[in-house]
């Protein structure tokens, strides 16, 4: 086998609590790969994780990890899940007996497992080596270089610190968090000649200090693309949620020069979900971050550009071109545009909530805050799937999770499977007919005043964490005067534009608008921003693909 350029520091690791099996696996691996790779073996998940951390600190690369399923204290799936945090690029193999193949199949979704091997694998030339060969080739084709770590110094109750952590996490940028109260945090502040009054401080991999950085500046310094490579495209996709990513994948894969523009982070609301369990093909669910990462990699592999932290402020028609204007005054143009801007969670109007935003009051799942909820009481406002998924996830950390639901029960807005799951978790409580009347706190959330609907009694509860999921508002104000919307701001398209049998005002073509086409020819809409859309991940992805099909039809007739 050809030796990779960095083979002297590249590791294949095997983990098995049976010393005899451990030695046998290492022996077989050394026989085939010992000249090109270091073979490291461990006999427990704990010792393997310690070795992985040491390799990380030294800058060594780990190409493949093979872990036995049945290990005491920490089984192979649990180990691989934790190993992903240390060496996310390593290919993962589970060694299992025939009786445990069900667990191995489940692990494909839980830890993004690459392969599972049944024991025994004799002869290795037929059952072991071909699998490892393929995984090594796949690893070498991937961007397996260790990513230098970004450092963030902030404070738990700093809203800007929370925003920066969420931005980095959702954009899959690895970072290390340091509290400004801790010695290392103070050392980093001193090195940057900062006194801690302005937070967060972000130190980029090349050592550049950024104080309270804006998203665009932060994105540019941590390696995210923010500048388009061209002035003109076949297709501009605005919004990077499931609909936008679906459109980017299908547009680029079908030969359209495609650019996707996202104002914050790809994934949209779905990307913030801790677990999506009703998406086709993932019987055990998939996290929004995992689904987003796979879709983003798929889009870029087909050649789509993805621009992050770019806010679109206008859409203009210039003859056959559709011109997209950015907040900094720059612009790009294209033959066609797909609007996949999605929606944002509505703000809670109760007094005190605006002032405490990011300091105990969070909109969306804010998964980066979940570990800090350990053994504390958490409140969630909302009764739809996003609120239920957040409750299930946060219940793993918090002492208690209380869902505050305005309506009489959950059945009107939450999927049945999720209601059943919530009912089986002992530390989740549901308070129906309840709203937040006021949030209290000095610098961070400390208490909530809750009120029963219909003039019910009020009571005050201690609370440091409030997560809000109260409906969706479309991000479409910037389209005012160009694209027709309904009274709530959702974009009208296709049949909704021609309800009386006549084309919309200003429509000059001799055909009616296509199904997802707006009142501007060549401008389409997909996903949650469309009026009367299904508000589901699967339908959003489908609409993104369908919009690309209609773009092709439009381009053929233009």
Q: Residue 2 domain-assigned?
A: no
Angstrom distance (rounded) from CA 265 to CA 260 = 11
Ranges of beta strands (E only) in 107-206 are 115-118, 150-154, 175-179, 201-203
pLDDT at 1: 42
Tell me, yes or no, whether 349 lies in a domain. Answer: no
- 136 and 11 in a single domain? The answer is yes
Residues 466 and 391 in one domain: yes
Note whether 339 and 529 are within 8 A (CB). Answer: yes
Mean pLDDT to the nearest integer, 176-192: 89
364-369 mean pLDDT: 72
What would the mean pLDDT of 533-556 be, rounded to a whole number? 95
The pLDDT value recorded for residue 103 is: 63
Q: What ranges make up the beta strands (E) of 171-308?
A: 175-179, 201-203, 209-211, 232-238, 258-262, 305-308
Is the CB of residue 414 less than 8 Å from the CB of residue 398? no
Distance between CA 160 and CA 358 in Å, rounded?
Answer: 7
Same domain, residue pair 24 and 128:
yes
100 within a domain of the structure (yes/no): yes
The least confident of 63-77, 244-258, 532-546 is 63-77
Q: Is residue 86 part of a domain?
A: yes
Per the listing, tokens 């770019």 go with: 310
Mean pLDDT of the chain: 89
Q: In whole angstroms, how far apart are CA 203 and each of 57, 184, 252?
A: 18, 13, 35
List the CATH number of the domain containing 503.
Answer: 3.50.50.60
When pLDDT is averaged across residues 251-270 and rounded to a whole number, the result is 94
| Range 54-66 average pLDDT | 81
Query: How far is CA 234 from each of CA 242, 286, 295, 300, 534, rounded to the nearest angstrom?
Result: 20, 32, 20, 16, 28
Given a cut of 70, is residue 168 above it in pLDDT?
A: yes
Q: What percent of the chain is modeled with pLDDT above 70? A: 94
Cβ pair 393, 366 in contact under 8 A? no
**Once rounded to an integer, what is the mean pLDDT over residues 322-348?**
96
Listing DSSP states for 393-452 in one string gives: HHTTTSSEEEEEESSS-STTTS-HHHHHHHHT-TTEEEEESEEEEEEE-SSS--EEEEEE
Band the pLDDT of 4: cuts 50, 70, 90: very low
Q: Are the beta carbons of 431 and 405 closer than 8 angstroms? A: yes
Q: Do residue 60 and residue 203 come from a single domain?
A: no
Same domain, 122 and 16: yes
Candidates 363, 317, 300, 16; CA nearest to 163 is 363
Section 390-404 average pLDDT: 94
Say if residue 149's pLDDT is above 80.
no
> What per-residue confidence (pLDDT) applies to 359?
93
Residue 239 maps to a domain: yes
| pTM of the shown model | 0.74
Percent of the chain residues past pLDDT 90, beyond the cut: 62
Q: Is residue 243 domain-shared with residue 293, that is, in the same domain? A: yes
Closest CA to 326 of 314, 336, 335, 337: 314
The pLDDT of residue 399: 95
CA 88 to chain centre: 15
| 503 plus 545 within the same structural domain | yes
Q: How confident is the model at residue 110 (pLDDT cuts 50, 70, 90)?
A: low
CA distance 209 to 524: 41
- pLDDT for position 129: 93
In the predicted model, is pLDDT for residue 58 greater than 70?
no
| 354 lies in some domain | no
**Is it the case that residue 531 has pLDDT exceeding 70?**
yes
For 355-373, the DSSP string reads: TTBTTTEEES--GGGGGGG
Task: Pull the structure tokens for residue 160.
Answer: 């800007």
Candidates 299, 324, 305, 291; CA nearest to 246 is: 299
Range of the domain at 491: 232-344+473-557
Backbone torsions φ then ψ of 145, nearest 5 degrees: -65, 140
Lowest-pLDDT range, 62-76, 190-204, 278-292?
A: 278-292
Which one of 168, 187, 221 terminates a domain? 221
CA distance 139 to 37: 13
Candidate ranges 2-16, 33-47, 65-79; pick with highest mean pLDDT: 33-47
Judge whether residue 127 has pLDDT over 90.
no
Where do we find the tokens 């193999």? Answer: 93
CA nearest to 441, candidates 355, 369, 552, 347? 355
pLDDT score at 155: 92
Q: Are residues 205 and 267 in the same domain?
A: no
Distance from C-alpha of 63 to C-alpha of 33, rounded to nearest angstrom: 12
Is residue 442 located within the same domain as residue 414? yes
Give the residue from 434, 454, 470 where a domain finishes.
470
- Asked, for residue 237, whether it belongs to a domain, the answer is yes
C-alpha 378: how far from chain center:
22
Do 504 and 461 share a structural domain? no
Mean pLDDT in residue range 82-97: 84
Mean pLDDT to the nearest integer, 279-289: 84
User: What domain count does the chain have?
Assistant: 4
C-alpha distance from residue 481 to each of 297, 315, 325, 476 (Å): 35, 10, 14, 11
Give residues with Cβ within 8 angstroms of 96, minimum separation 6. Answer: 68, 69, 70, 76, 103, 104, 116, 117, 118, 119
The pLDDT, as a whole number, for residue 106 is 63
Other C-beta atoms within 10 Å of 520: how many? 21
Q: Look up the CATH number of the domain holding residue 45.
A: 3.40.50.2300
Instruction: Work out the pLDDT band at 145, boundaries 50, 70, 90.
Output: low
Which residue would you say has higher pLDDT here, 527 or 274? 527
Residue 364 in tokens: 């969306």
User: According to the model, what pLDDT value does residue 271 have?
Assistant: 81
What is the rounded average pLDDT of the residues 85-90?
Answer: 82
Does residue 465 sit in the same domain as residue 326? Answer: no
Is 352 contained in some domain? no
Of the candidates 414, 442, 470, which is a domain's last residue?
Answer: 470
Measured CA to CA, the distance from residue 22 to residue 67 in angstroms comes to 10
49 and 17 within one domain: yes
**Across residues 468-473, what is the average pLDDT?**
88
């Amino acid at each position: 086998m050809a030796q990779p350029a960095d083979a002297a520091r590249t590791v294949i690791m095997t983990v098995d609590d049976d010393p005899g099996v451990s030695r046998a696996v290492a022996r077989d691996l050394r026989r085939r790969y010992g000249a090109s790779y270091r073979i490291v073996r461990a006999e427990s998940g704990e010792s393997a994780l310690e070795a992985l951390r040491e390799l990380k600190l030294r800058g060594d690369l780990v190409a493949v990890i093979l872990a036995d399923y049945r290990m005491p204290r920490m089984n192979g799936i649990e180990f691989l899940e934790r190993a992903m945090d240390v060496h996310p690029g390593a290919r993962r193999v589970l060694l299992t007996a025939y009786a445990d193949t069900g667990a191995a199949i489940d692990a494909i979704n839980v830890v993004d497992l690459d392969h599972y091997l049944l024991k025994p694998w004799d002869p290795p030339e037929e059952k072991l080596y071909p699998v490892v060969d393929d995984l090594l080739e796949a690893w070498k084709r991937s961007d397996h270089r260790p990513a230098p770590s970004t450092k963030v110094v902030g404070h738990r109750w700093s809203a800007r610190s929370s925003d920066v952590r969420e931005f980095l996490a959702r954009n899959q940028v690895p970072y290390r968090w340091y509290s400004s109260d801790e010695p290392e945090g103070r050392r980093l502040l001193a090195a940057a000649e900062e006194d801690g009054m302005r937070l967060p401080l972000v130190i980029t991999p090349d050592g550049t200090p950024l104080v309270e950085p804006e998203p665009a500046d932060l994105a540019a310094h941590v390696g995210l693309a923010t500048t388009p490579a061209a002035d003109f495209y076949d297709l501009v996709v605005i919004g990077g949620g499931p609909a936008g990513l679906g459109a980017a994948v299908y547009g680029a894969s079908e030969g359209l020069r495609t650019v996707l523009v996202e104002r914050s982070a790809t994934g949209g609301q779905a990307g913030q979900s801790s677990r999506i369990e009703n998406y086709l093909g993932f019987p055990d669910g998939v996290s929004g971050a995992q689904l987003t990462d796979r879709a983003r990699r798929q889009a870029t592999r087909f050649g789509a550009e993805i621009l992050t932290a770019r806010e679109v402020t206008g859409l203009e028609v210039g003859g056959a071109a559709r011109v997209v204007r950015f907040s900094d005054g720059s612009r790009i143009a294209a033959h066609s545009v797909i609007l996949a801007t999605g929606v944002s969670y509505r703000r809670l109007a109760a007094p005190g909530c605006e002032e405490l935003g990011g300091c105990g009051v969070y909109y969306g799942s804010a998964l980066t805050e979940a570990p800090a909820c350990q053994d504390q009481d958490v409140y969630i406002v909302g009764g739809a799937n996003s609120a239920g998924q957040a409750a299930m996830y946060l219940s793993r950390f918090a002492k208690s999770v209380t869902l505050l639901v305005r309506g009489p029960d959950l059945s009107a807005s939450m999927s049945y499977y999720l209601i059943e799951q919530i009912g089986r978790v002992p530390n989740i409580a549901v308070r129906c007919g309840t709203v937040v009347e006021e949030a209290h706190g000095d610098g961070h959330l400390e208490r909530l005043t809750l009120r029963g609907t219909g003039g019910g009694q009020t009571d005050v509860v201690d609370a440091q964490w409030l997560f809000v999921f109260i409906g969706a508002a479309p991000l479409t104000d910037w389209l005012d005067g160009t694209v027709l919307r309904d009274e709530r701001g959702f974009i009208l398209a296709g049949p909704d534009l021609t309800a009386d049998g006549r084309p919309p005002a200003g429509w000059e073509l001799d055909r009616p608008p296509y199904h997802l086409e707006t009142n501007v020819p060549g401008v389409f809409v997909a996903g949650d921003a469309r009026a009367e859309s299904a508000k589901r991940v699967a339908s959003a992805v489908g609409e993104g693909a369908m919009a690309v099909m209609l773009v092709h039809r439009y381009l053929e007739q233009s």
